[in-house]
């Protein structure tokens, strides 16, 4: 009986210390320039603790969107810190594409600066998503994929 109690207590401790990672983000499939829209930062279970420090978003036309860059227009940078790090709930930020960005197809890139594991190893992870800048912001969201 005591062994079962210890196992149950150990399992409860493990589940209460769940680890999470930022796994991507989502934006509307069409976004109106000069108007606010929500970016949803997506999270998922992970094997170790990750301290997310900051996230930055940028946008560029497809021909100017290169791996490991934020593009030709920096949209914003947000501090994450302990309250928005290592959690299993999505995080929402309000963003805005500059009004002077012309209508057309674009790539939105996010760069996430994080510290991994017990030794706080720094890393930057990139995620990209294709969207269209248009007359109105759609209610349909598209999710990112990891960038190389």
List the chain domain ranges: 19-139
pLDDT the model gives residue 102: 97
Say which residues have a Cβ less than 8 Å from residue 127's Cβ, sequence separation at least 6: 24, 25, 109, 110, 112, 144, 145, 146, 147
Residues near 32 by beta carbon (within 8 Å), at least 6 away in sequence:
97, 133, 134, 135, 136, 137
Digit-by-digit pLDDT tens for the chain (148 residues) are 555 544 444 444 444 456 899 999 999 999 999 999 999 999 999 999 899 999 999 999 999 999 899 999 999 999 999 999 989 999 999 999 999 999 999 999 999 999 998 999 999 999 999 999 999 999 999 999 877 5
Q: Return the structure tokens found at 97.
A: 């594409």
pLDDT for the residue numbered 145? 83
Using alpha carbons, select from 68, 76, 108, 91 the residue that is nearest to residue 20.
91
67 beta partners: none
pLDDT of residue 8: 47
Residue 31's CB: how many other CB atoms inside 10 A? 25
What pLDDT, on the 0 to 100 scale, is given for residue 65?
A: 95
Cα–Cα distance for residue pair 128/130, rounded to 1 Å: 7
Could you give the count of Cα atoms lying within 13 Å of 1 in the half-sphere of its Cβ? 0
pTM, 2 dp: 0.85
117 vs 48: CA distance, rounded Å = 6
Q: For residues 85 and 51, is the Cβ–Cβ distance under 8 A?
A: yes
CATH of segment(s) 19-139: 2.60.40.2550
- Which residues have a Cβ under 8 Å from the Cβ of 35 and sit 6 or more positions away? 96, 137
């Amino acid at each position: 009986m005591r062994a079962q109690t210890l196992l149950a207590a150990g399992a409860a401790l493990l589940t209460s210390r769940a680890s999470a990672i930022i796994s991507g983000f989502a934006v509307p499939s069409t976004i109106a320039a000069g108007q606010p829209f929500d970016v949803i930062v997506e999270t998922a279970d992970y094997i170790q603790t990750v301290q997310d420090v900051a996230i930055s978003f940028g946008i560029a036309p497809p021909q100017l969107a290169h791996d490991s860059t934020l593009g030709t227009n920096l949209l914003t940078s947000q501090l994450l810190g302990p309250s928005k790090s290592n959690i299993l709930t999505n995080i929402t930020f309000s963003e805005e594409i500059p009004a002077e960005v012309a209508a057309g197809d674009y790539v939105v890139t996010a760069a996430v600066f994080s510290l991994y594991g017990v030794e706080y190893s720094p890393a930057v992870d990139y995620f990209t998503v294709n969207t269209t800048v248009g007359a109105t912001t759609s209610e349909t969201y598209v999710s990112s994929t990891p960038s190389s």
